[in-house]
Amino acid sequence: MDPIRRAALTYVVYFAAIGASFGYLPIYYRELGLGLATIGLLAAMSSGIQLVAAPAWGLLADRHPRSRVGLPAAALVAAVGAGLLAVSTASLTLPVAVGIMAIGLAGIGPVLDARTLELLGARALRYGEVRAVGSVSFVVATLAVGALLDRAGTGSLFLVYVPALLGTALAGLSLPRGGGRPRRAIRSGVRAVVSTQGIATFLVATLLTWTLISATNAFYSIQVVALGGSTQLVGLAWAVGAVVEVPIMWGHHRLVARIGLGTVLLLGATAFACRAALAAASPGPIWLVAIAPLEGLAFGLLFPGSVGFMAARAPKELAATAQGVFSATLGLGAITGSAFGGVIAGMTSIPALFAVAAAGGIGGAVLLAFAARPPTPARATALPEDGPAPGDPIPDIPEEVHP
């Protein structure tokens, strides 16, 4: 099988796991009797683990550039944690299971993104086309699991979640590596990524934006149910958004070439803020499903653009590390967003939390657009070594990949 198709297959299996869990784990926690603040703390703990584990997985992959085991190992750890979570109900074992699961999940996304960009080579701007198949898988899994949960209970999500993580491990093992020499140590690798021109500012803007996004997402499913919706309706809300992601991601590189990365990121973050504002005024669960396309539009614009920005600006030999640093920033945003969201929702209401997220989201959108501005001329002279800036034309030259 063609290496790019292997990467696409890995995204399919991985996002089947995400579709089986993302919208439903908060409901599962709620049915275990956990309060909103506790659910927020669990999400914050998972994100805190991601903050450390994601760069560590990425650096491990960069330190062993010929090894294929990093991605499968991360998926196996996540599967073990998910299996433990399925049978854990005690107050002590539940956080342990969530923690193990978070350690593994932290390594799958950034390493898979880095491997895909490595396989694409000179066609890296087409990352969104490969990633789009993951969104299709997410839609199918979310809808199917939503129907399953209505019939068999929320605990049945693990019947799909755990096998899909195991399948991710198998699919990831088939991905070829490009080879090369081991590179920098952990501290110097992270420092080299962050010190690259423009990346630190971009990470600050990303942190603000994704803090507010995480605060909204952490309680969106719970609000659907609180307004009288079923778990299947929860799945529909997330699936509708993911359907919109697919064409947006597929044409992402053309959109960046036409209007520029900064404008794309501005539009994406603004769409997230509008969705939060409309969710705050939601009169019922159907309304939350109706505005879900805004989530797909926003994510389809924002995530591929951010991955591409990091890939283009960071040193080539630290590709997985760069994606790990980006993932860790999302993790930190999820920590602050989930904890902040839990406190606000617990003290006031979930709609009040959505309103706060909408107000702050506009500022995050503007800051992201500023951070993604083109590099200075002095930086541009170094582009042959470090890679093109986002939005620059890239020749469609095939790159050799060693199995």
- Domain segments of the chain as ranges: 3-178+185-386
What's the mean pLDDT in 26-53?
81
| Distance in angstroms (rounded) separating the CA atoms of residues 280 and 250 | 30
| Distance in angstroms (rounded) separating the CA atoms of residues 353 and 361 | 12
Whether residue 48 has pLDDT greater than 70 = yes
pLDDT band at 382 (very low <50, low <70, confident <90, very high): very low
* Structure confidence at residue 174 (pLDDT): 85
pLDDT band at 402 (very low <50, low <70, confident <90, very high): very low
Q: CATH number for the 3-178+185-386 domain, one of 1.20.1250.20, 1.25.40.10, 3.30.56.10, 3.40.190.10?
A: 1.20.1250.20
Give kind and range of the element (H or E) at residue 175: none
| Distance in angstroms (rounded) separating the CA atoms of residues 108 and 44 | 19
The CA-CA-CA angle for residues 205, 363, 131, to 5°, reads 50
pTM of the model: 0.68
* Structure confidence at residue 377 (pLDDT): 55
* Structure confidence at residue 387 (pLDDT): 44
Tens-place pLDDT, residues 75-116: 999 999 999 999 887 677 888 999 999 999 988 988 898 888
* Structure confidence at residue 246 (pLDDT): 86
* Structure confidence at residue 177 (pLDDT): 67
| Distance in angstroms (rounded) separating the CA atoms of residues 16 and 165 | 9
Tens-place pLDDT, residues 270-284: 999 999 999 999 889
The CA-CA-CA angle for residues 364, 123, 241, to 5°, reads 45
pLDDT band at 393 (very low <50, low <70, confident <90, very high): very low
> Pick from 314, 82, 81: which is nearest to 195 by CA?
314
Tens-place pLDDT, residues 123-176: 766 788 888 888 889 889 988 888 898 888 888 999 999 999 999 999 988 888
What's the mean pLDDT in 37-56?
80
* Structure confidence at residue 179 (pLDDT): 52
| Distance in angstroms (rounded) separating the CA atoms of residues 55 and 332 | 12
Count CA atoms closer than 13 A to 364's CA, side-chain side. Answer: 26
| Distance in angstroms (rounded) separating the CA atoms of residues 151 and 63 | 47
Mean pLDDT of the chain: 81
